Amino acid sequence: MKHLIESQQFNQKSINKIFALADKLEKKTDKSLKGKIMASLFYEPSTRTRFSFESAMLRLGGSVITTENAKEFSSAAKGETLEDSIRVINNYVDVIVLRHYEQGASQRASVVSDVPVINAGDGPGQHPTQALLDLYTIKRELNKIDGIQIALVGDLKHGRTIRSLSYLLGKYKNIKIYFVSPLGLGVGTDIKEYLDKHKISYYETDLLEEIISKIDVLYQTRIQKERFKDEQEYLKFKGCYQIDLSLVSRMKAKSIIMHPLPRIDEILMEVDSSPKSVYFKQAKYGLLVRMALLKMLIKKH
Ligand code: CP
**What integer is the mean pLDDT of 46-72?**
95
* Selection from 76, 71, 110 nearest residue 90 by Cα: 110
% of the chain exceeding 90 in pLDDT: 91
Is the preceding omega at residue 262 within 30 degrees of 0, hence cis? yes
Q: Which of 3, 36, 99, 160 is catalytic?
A: 99
Residues of the chain with CATH 3.40.50.1370: 7-127+283-300, 128-282
CA of 199 to the centre of ligand 1 (A): 30
Residue nearest to atom 1 of ligand 1 (CA): 260
What's the rounded Cα separation, in Å, for the pair 241 and 176? 21
46 lines ligand 1 (CB under 6 A): yes
160 lines ligand 1 (CB under 6 A): no
Per CATH, the number for 7-127+283-300 is 3.40.50.1370
pLDDT of amino acid 74: 85
Q: Which of 36, 48, 50, 290 is catalytic?
A: 48
pLDDT of amino acid 77: 85
Q: Output the pTM of the full model.
A: 0.95
Average pLDDT, the chain: 96
The H or E element containing residue 144 is: none
Band of pLDDT at residue 266, cut at 50, 70 and 90: very high
**What integer is the mean pLDDT of 86-114?**
97
* Selection from 271, 298, 292, 300 nearest residue 132 by Cα: 292
50 part of the active site: no
CB atoms within 10 A of CB 276: 18
Does residue 72 carry a pLDDT above 90?
no
Ligand 1 nearest atom to the CA of residue 260, by list position: 1
Band of pLDDT at residue 73, cut at 50, 70 and 90: confident
Start-to-end C-alpha separation, the chain? 10
Q: Which CATH architecture has domain 128-282?
A: 3-Layer(aba) Sandwich (3.40)
**What integer is the mean pLDDT of 87-110?**
97
Band of pLDDT at residue 239, cut at 50, 70 and 90: confident
Contacts of 72 (CB under 8 A, 6+ apart): none
